[in-house]
Chain A
Amino acid sequence: MTPAGSLLAATGLRKAYGPTTALDGAEFSVHPGEVVAVMGPSGSGKSTLLHCLAGIVRPDAGSVTYDGRDLLAMSDAERSALRRGEFGFVFQFGRLVPELTCVENTALPLRLAGLKRKKAEARAMEWLERLEVADARDKRPAEVSGGQGQRVAVARALVTTPRVVFADEPTGALDSLNGERVMELLTAAARDTHAAVVLVTHEARVAAYSDREVIVRDGRARDMAGVGRP
């Protein structure tokens, strides 16, 4: 059963890597415009959960439903199209293409979707401005600071106005001031575009930018909404 109104939901997810169980019946759901933090100790299955939700990793059992569609029943091509057009990704280390400038990096998802260079870069510039890194437009990733690079990565994730943003430890490599600014800009932009955010983090200060948290432990996910409230 998919929770009512959810954009992305998973039930009974199981995934093992050889003898190691990463997910053991995990449940998850996120609504449009909602920021959900996925927390838990290292090795608890947080990243595997994110990868299953994003259609990057195929679970051994269980189901993932995105906007009423069964993600696991889609062909590889359909899933790739979904990841390019409707999902955005931010990783711990920006993973920008080193040979491309910051504006080219940001425009890349639009170019892959077939948009002409000029239009794609114009839209990319809007996002670089919004993320306060317009100055970096013609620099290559190696020429900007870690904080700037991560903002470019966030701009790239948001440039297609995705409906779900997956962020895996997006501030893990940043100092706290830069990390907080990235979180502020990411969550504000996601809320404005009504995108859902799945935010994997082990940092409480980062999780404090979410609407609710899900705790993953021993491959199971516990939704903490309302827990401990009288």
Chain B
Amino acid sequence: MSIGHTLLGLLETGPRHGYDLKRAFDARFGQDRPLHYGQVYSTMSRLLKNGLVEVEGIEQGEGPDRKRYAITDAGITDVERWLVQPEKPEPYLQSTLYTKVVLALLTGRDAAGLLDAQRSEHLRLMRGLTERKRSGDLADQLICDHALFHLEADLRWLELTAARLDQLGKTVRP
């Protein structure tokens, strides 16, 4: 999962301090793996260097970093590009897709469209495997079937998520 893009997406909903960002990330996406502060600050300095965020203000106080970050126009474009571009189908994609769906809902983008594009990307790969299976021997067929069943499982998750978008939207933006 792209931590940089996820933090950028969270920033699109409003400027935040580094520690706020970490808390927001952990609450929404860090169930299994909360972010380390170090990851947040190294990511933010990279985003800053690339002009995707800017420092809106620095407060005096406790903690290692009191910078308040805001997303730039270039940052918004970058989030948009990442959300619209379907992921390459591979195992355990659901955490990235889940993150993208939640960020799309948070930032008022077309989450259903994002899922449609991802379904197409999966189907494109499934067509290639089906074609290979059609022209291949039994070994090819079995190998392709294995991949096809995994992709199908991803798609079933995707359909279920698509069916629950309204419900998820209410949770994400009460």
Partner-B contacts on A (CB < 8 A): 39, 41, 184, 202-205, 207-210, 213, 215, 217, 222, 224, 227-228, 230
Q: Which one of A208, A222, A224, A228 lies within 8 Å of B148 (CB-CB)?
A: A208
Chain B interfacial positions (CB closer than 8 Å to A) = 84-86, 112, 116-123, 126-127, 129-130, 134, 148, 151-152, 155-156, 159, 162-163
**The one of A41, A205, A228, A230 that contacts B120, using a Cβ cutoff of 8 Å:** A228
Q: Is the CB of A204 within 8 A of B85?
A: no
Q: Is the CB of B123 within 8 A of A41?
A: no
Q: Does B85 lie within 8 Å of A228, measured CB to CB?
A: yes
Known: A208-B129, A208-B148, A228-B86. A215 touches B116 (CB 8 A): yes
Total of A-B residue pairs, C-beta within 8 Å: 53
A-B pairs with lowest CB-CB distance, top 10: A228-B117, A208-B126, A228-B86, A208-B130, A224-B120, A204-B155, A204-B152, A208-B127, A227-B117, A227-B120
Chain B hits for A210, CB < 8 A:
127
> B119 contacts which of A203, A205, A215 (Cβ < 8 Å)?
A215
Q: Say yes or no: A184 contacts B134, CB within 8 Å.
A: yes
With a cutoff of 8 Å between Cβ atoms, the chain A residues found around residue B155 in the complex are 204
18 additional A-B residue pairs with CB within 8 Å, beyond A228-B84, A228-B86? A204-B119, A204-B155, A205-B130, A205-B152, A207-B123, A208-B127, A208-B129, A208-B130, A209-B130, A210-B127, A215-B116, A224-B117, A224-B119, A224-B123, A227-B117, A228-B85, A228-B118, A230-B85
Task: Specify which of A208, A215, A227, A230 lies most central, judged by the most chain B CB atoms within 10 Å of its CB.
Answer: A208
With both chains docked as a complex, state the minimum distance between the C-beta of B76 and any C-beta of chain A, in angstroms: 19
Smallest Cβ distance from A40 to chain B, in angstroms? 9
- Contacting residues, chain A, for B123 (C-beta < 8 A): 204, 207-208, 213, 224
A204 & B116 in contact (Cβ 8 Å cutoff): no
Q: Which residues of B contact A215 (CB under 8 A)?
A: 116, 119
Residues of B within 8 A of A207 (CB): 123, 126
Give the residue among B112, B123, B152, B156 with the most A Cβ atoms within 10 A.
B123
Tell me if A222 and B116 are in contact (CB < 8 A).
yes
Q: Which listed residue, B84, B122, B159, touches A41 by the CB 8 Å rule?
A: B159
> Quick one: closest A residue to B149, CB to CB?
A205
Tell me the minimal C-beta distance from B125 to chain A in angstroms. Answer: 9
A209→B133 CA distance, assembly (Å): 11
